[in-house]
Amino acid sequence: MDNLHTLDLPTIAQRLRGGALTAQQLMESCIAHYERSETALNAYKTWDGARALEVAKAADTLLKGNYDLGPLMGIPTSVKDLFGVPGLPTFAGSSAALPEQFSQAGRLVQAFIDQLSPITGKSHTVEFAFGGIGMNGHWGAPRNPWDTQVHRIPGGSSSGAGVSLCQGSAWLALGTDTAGSVRIPASFTGTTALKTTEGRWPKDHTVPLSTTLDTPGLLARTITDLIFGFEAIESQLQNRPVRVPRLHGLAGVRLGVPENFFWDGVDASIAEQVEQAMRALEQAGATLVPITIPNCDEAYAAFQAGGLGAPELSDFLLRNMPDKIQHLDPLVKIRVEGAEQLSAIEYLRRIALFRQASEEINTVFEQVDAWLNPTLLTTAAAVDDLADTEQYRQANMQVLRNPSIANLMHLCAVSLPVGKDSLGIPVGLQITAGAHQEEKLLALSLQCEQVLGTAVQCLGQCPQW
């Protein structure tokens, strides 16, 4: 079963039902990959391989009896350690487990449980998801699998999610995204990610960073796998079949290329890969349209000043677990405590600014179907280079810059790999679409993947640990 990485999830699901593959074999492969590499990669806060194997065996028994609970049956999935999973502690990246109530499953996790998707464990997160790099002062940073010599950041705050896919210990990874937290790790690890529109997927029993901006998200190895996961989740949540439409080429598709904000300070080798990808899409029939995205600078300035995450996390902690504040990672603590000085007027001003930006962005989508830009501006930094607080702050804001706009404007977005930078770290292309346009976005992304190919694959091409 060493060639499993060559299969996509639709094929795996078909083979599970046809008897050519068992969920037990799939999960055993995940366990083997975990045991071989976890000491080096540190993808998980809590591993639950033994229980996941029992779920896989149960899925096999039911499938043999022609009982099909849904597409996710037997598909191993890692879950970010912000989501409640019954029987597993939730740390949310903090130094000690949260109260038992935070281990209850919300509707999103329940969609996986109800379909007998083996949950491989709780993947690492930045403490309370408050950071885009992937660092954690309590548990360390998972290692970016693409560099065997230097410990580089994996991206955050869903820091273990992309690593679990590269590791081969999971086939889907459930995360959250408040300012890029599924797209950043996807870009750095050569995987794909979907940031859903706020309100699209339920957030109950998920530890919040920002109740206003948090969105659940999904990571997968390819867009094909991402669509498989999206359709399975949506169908379960809506209790009806949900399908992403399939496009027949890119002719007539209008893809915007922002002339402002998203290219400022971009690394030359990253720009080269993204520009090359855009040219390929144009040659395949897409129309590239130069556009200007309004309100980026104003929205990002408010985000840099603490946005909504700092005051809303501060409020959550003060109301639910005030004792946690004194034990926070210093990089998180300084921002949480600083938010207590924020005036109500300034908080409301930021909400009004983001609301205005969300309304005015609609004029852009009258011109284009989606827009393209580099997911990230820079390569994955070495962990040792971020020991200084100011170095950390600058690097953190740098990785959050491009992805955060989709959150601040309440849009949906995908990141997919299009090449490698000068250090051999994957480069992501971000595709952004209008609010609640996930099906359209994924259809476009799939067509882009078919044109661009899988020049970067997190399994097979990623160094083996």
Supply the Cα-derived Rg of the chain in whole angstroms: 20
Phi/psi of residue 243, each to 5°?
-130, 135
Euclidean distance between CA atoms 141 and 145, whole angstroms? 12
The one catalytic residue among 29, 37, 45, 80:
80
Phi/psi of residue 62, each to 5°?
-70, -40
Tell me, yes or no, if 157 is annotated catalytic: yes
The SS3 call for residue 255 is: strand
Write out the H or E segment, with its range, that includes residue 287. Answer: strand 287-291
Q: DSSP states of 182-244 as a string?
A: THHHHHHHT-EEEEPPTTTS--TTB--S-TTT-EEEEEESSHHHHHHHHHHHHHHHHTS----
The one catalytic residue among 181, 210, 235, 415:
181
Tell me, yes or no, if 314 is annotated catalytic: no
Q: What angle do CA 286, 437, 357 make, to 5 degrees?
A: 95
Q: Are strands 370-374 and 426-433 parallel, antiparallel or unpaired?
A: antiparallel
Tell me, yes or no, if 117 is annotated catalytic: no
The one catalytic residue among 94, 117, 123, 157:
157
Instruction: Enumerate residues 6+ apart whose C-beta is below 8 A from 138.
Output: 93, 94, 95, 127, 329
- Active site (catalytic) residues: 80, 157, 181
